[in-house]
Every structure is written in C-alpha cells, then in structure tokens.
Amino acid sequence: MSNISIRKVRKTYDKNEVVHGVDLEVAAGEFVVLLGPSGCGKSTLLRMVAGLEAITSGEIAIGNKIVNKLEPRERGCAMVFQNYALYPHMSVAENIGYALKIARVPKVERNEKIRSVAETLNIADFLDRKPAQLSGGQRQRVAMGRAMIREPKIFLYDEPLSNLDAKLRVAMRLEIRKLHQRLGTTTLFVTHDQVEAMTLADRIVVMNKGIIEQVGTPLEIYSRPASAYVAGFIGSPSLNMIKGVLNPETATITLNDGQALQYDLKRWPNLHAGEIIAGFRAEAVSLCNSSKSLTLNPQFIEELGVSRQLHCELAGEQIIVTSQSDHDVKAGIPLHVTIEPGQIQLFNAQTGVRLETEVYDVDASVTQIRKAS
C-alpha cells in the first residue's frame, strides 16, 4: 500500500485552466472518492495521478516518491475504466493475464494467478468466454481482475459503474467495497453519483470547477456541508435551501411570503440582520396540525413504499419533504409542518459558504469534543 500526495497541481489546456492548484493527501489503504458533476476536473485529476495526463504545474507523489516524470507503467497504478477496455478477441483468462504475459511470467504461475483472481471476483466459470458473451457486470469484473492481477500499489477507478443498470450498480458497489476490505489497496474512485460516493468512500472529495469544495467522511459532508454547492450535491434528496431575511433579535428567518423559520440562536449568537440562505433536510420536516406552523403547498407525491417524498412549494421555492406513507397527504391541499431549529443550517447569501457555529458537538464515536464547522 502507498499513500498519494497531490500538491498544488494545476492542469491547463491551451489557455484554459481546468484544475486550479489542488492539494490532497490520501493515506495508504484509504478509499477516497472524487465526486462532482461533468467538467469539474475529477477525471483529469485521476488521469494525472495515473500518468495519462501531463501536469502543468505542481507535484504528485506516490509512496513518498515524486512521479511527475514517470511513465504510467512505472507508477504502480492499475486503472479501471468506464468502458471496460477489454480485448474482444481474447478470452476472459487471456484478458486478465495479459499484463503477466507481457511481463513474461511463466505460464503455470500465470494461470494460477488468473484462477485466484477469477475466484475472488466470482468469474472463474467464465474464463474461456469472450467479452461479448458476458453481461455488463461480468465484463466490469474482468476489467477489475486485469487490474488486480498486477498487484498494484494504487487502484484508480474512472466511473466504472456508469454503464450498468441500477440494480447491477448496487451489486457492484458492494463487490468493490468488499474487494477493498479484503485487499486494503489505496484507492481513488471517480464518480458523479453521490450515492456511490456515500456508500463506498472512507472520505469524499467534492470538486467544483477545478477546485476542491470540501473533503470529509460521508457523514461529515452530509451533516455539515461546507457550502451551498456541497449541500445541493450531497444527499438524496439534496438539502432544501431557501432564501430569507435573518432577524437575530427573534432568531427567525422571514421568507418571501412572510412566513418565518426559527433557527438555533445558541449555535449562531452573533449574526447580523440581512439576507441569508437556510438549509434543511427532507427528513427534518415534521407534519403537524398547528395553524401556527409553516404552510406548504404539495404539488406532487412520490410513493416509495414505507415513505413518501412530497414535492412542495414554500415561499415561491421548491422543496422536498419526506413523510411516512400512513400520513394523509394530497396534492393541492395545504400542509402544516414544523422544522426543528437545531436542524436548520445557515449559508452566506452571497458566497454560499456555510456559516460557522459557536457550538461544540460531541462525536460519540471518538469521544472528542470538536467545533462544528
């Protein structure tokens, strides 16, 4: 296992800079997911680590060795691509063992390793088949096997599940996570799917327009997004965000229609009056019968079995509320709700940056007191 150090890395195409001085440390054995929309620079950053893209400036070190000028084959990385990149005329066994054949590993030893890798990935029964005879999930396992057999220092995944159907993506996420637990190889995984990121990662790196917006565990990023951008990208559904005017004397945020949200004054005791963005999760909203509560207008209801997602209008903006299926809710009939003040998060209306609180939270998992940010 090797660590990865990315220091002030920039990438420019002609005069267009697409990666803007990124700094990132990945510990040996860590599974880190680069998350962001198309064009944010995540795949470019991955390809620079692999050596498939030249670095305009900065340094990349693998195992404390600077690799800027090393060829891809010299870096100890194995990459799994979105399109599998298998040789169609070769069998599964030949695809998996191709790198060992090129390295002139004896056939008996090569076949033993091929069999071992295939059994790990549950494709031992398909070794004689051609890629065209396999399902998408089986082909992705072959691509993973071809990477595994090299026993790399680093695994690099470039949106490997994007071509799979929804059910198969869930199954392959589990396989990739189990594989990492078994091998412990340092892994960088690129995706635009926040569910993949949340379920796979030890830490998530949220990227936006060539910069890193936030780095943290899935729970940290979900619970304390550093910006409105991160809040809108993480979670299914994402954080509800609504603009209003803050009044620190009453600890309320007045919305465009005159309704007011209560926020936790203990967490933000020193705010000034003015425009602000309030954020809250769909599950933080509770249905009630009080006329003194907030009033929403349900427009569309998604039935999810044990729960519902209510698409509502509040003060001229769209929000989503999660409710139990036994609640009597109908589209077009006003809905009364309450939102616990402690569940409200506040963001700067101009910059979108999350406002730092002055309350200290206790993290029971590590029994430490740390400042919420």
Q: Give 167-181 pLDDT, tens digit per residue.
A: 888 888 888 898 899
Residue in this structure with the two tokens 């059910």, named with its chain if needed: 167
| CATH code for the domain in which residue 217 is found | 3.40.50.300
- Determine whether 4 is exposed, middle or buried from the number of CB atoms within 10 Å of its CB (0-12, 13-18, 19+): buried
Sequence-distant contacts of 231-234: CB under 8 A, at least 24 apart: 231/279, 231/345, 231/347, 231/354, 233/35, 233/36, 233/37, 233/194, 233/206, 234/194, 234/197, 234/198, 234/204, 234/206
Q: Are residues 226 and 320 in the same domain?
A: no
Least confident of 208-212, 286-290, 347-351: 286-290
Would you state the pLDDT for residue 370?
35
Q: Are residues 225 and 244 in the same domain?
A: no
Would you state the pLDDT for residue 51?
94
Q: Are residues 91 and 46 in the same domain?
A: yes
Would you state the pLDDT for residue 176?
87
Cα 139 to Cα 115: distance, rounded to the nearest angstrom: 16
Would you state the pLDDT for residue 359?
54
- Of the chain, the percentage scoring pLDDT greater than 70 comes to 94
CB 72 within 8 A of CB 51: yes
| CATH code for the domain in which residue 327 is found | 2.40.50.140
Q: Are residues 143 and 184 in the same domain?
A: yes
Would you state the pLDDT for residue 307?
84
Q: Are residues 98 and 135 in the same domain?
A: yes
Residue 320's nearest CA partner among 254, 198, 256, 236 is 236
**pLDDT tens across 79-121, in order?**
888 887 889 999 999 999 998 998 899 999 999 999 998 988 8
Of the three residues 230, 260, 283, the one that is the final residue of a domain is 230
Per-residue pLDDT for 138 more than 90?
Answer: no
Q: Are residues 57 and 108 in the same domain?
A: yes
Residue in this structure with the two tokens 């559904």, named with its chain if needed: 237
Q: Are residues 286 and 338 in the same domain?
A: yes
Would you state the pLDDT for residue 44?
96
Of the three residues 179, 199, 230, the one that is the final residue of a domain is 230
Q: Are residues 191 and 277 in the same domain?
A: no
Would you state the pLDDT for residue 163?
80
Assign 24 a pLDDT band (cuts: 50, 70, 90): very high
- Of the chain, the percentage scoring pLDDT greater than 90 comes to 60
Would you state the pLDDT for residue 325?
63
CA 140 centroid distance within chain = 20
Q: In the predicted model, what is the mean pLDDT of residues 57-77?
A: 93
Q: Are residues 72 and 173 in the same domain?
A: yes
Per-residue pLDDT for 65 more than 60?
Answer: yes
Residue in this structure with the two tokens 């209008």, named with its chain if needed: 313
- Top-confidence residue, 370 or 118: 118
CB count within 10 Å of CB 58 equals: 17
Q: Are residues 49 and 115 in the same domain?
A: yes
Would you state the pLDDT for residue 372?
38
**pLDDT tens across 229-266, in order?**
999 888 888 899 999 999 999 999 999 999 999 999 99
Would you state the pLDDT for residue 308?
86
Q: Are residues 168 and 295 in the same domain?
A: no
**pLDDT tens across 190-229, in order?**
999 999 999 999 999 999 999 999 999 999 999 899 999 9
Cα 207 to Cα 100: distance, rounded to the nearest angstrom: 36
**What is the chain's mean pLDDT, rounded?**
88
Assign 291 a pLDDT band (cuts: 50, 70, 90): low
- Pairing between strand 57-62 and 240-247? unpaired
> CA-based angle 254:255:256, to the nearest 5?
125
Residue 116, C-beta contacts closer than 8 angstroms, at least 6 positions apart: none
Domain that holds residue 10: 4-230
Q: Are residues 41 and 185 in the same domain?
A: yes
Of the three residues 230, 246, 264, the one that is the final residue of a domain is 230
Instruction: Output DSSP code: residue 148.
Output: H
Would you state the pLDDT for residue 82?
81
Q: How many domains does the chain have?
A: 2
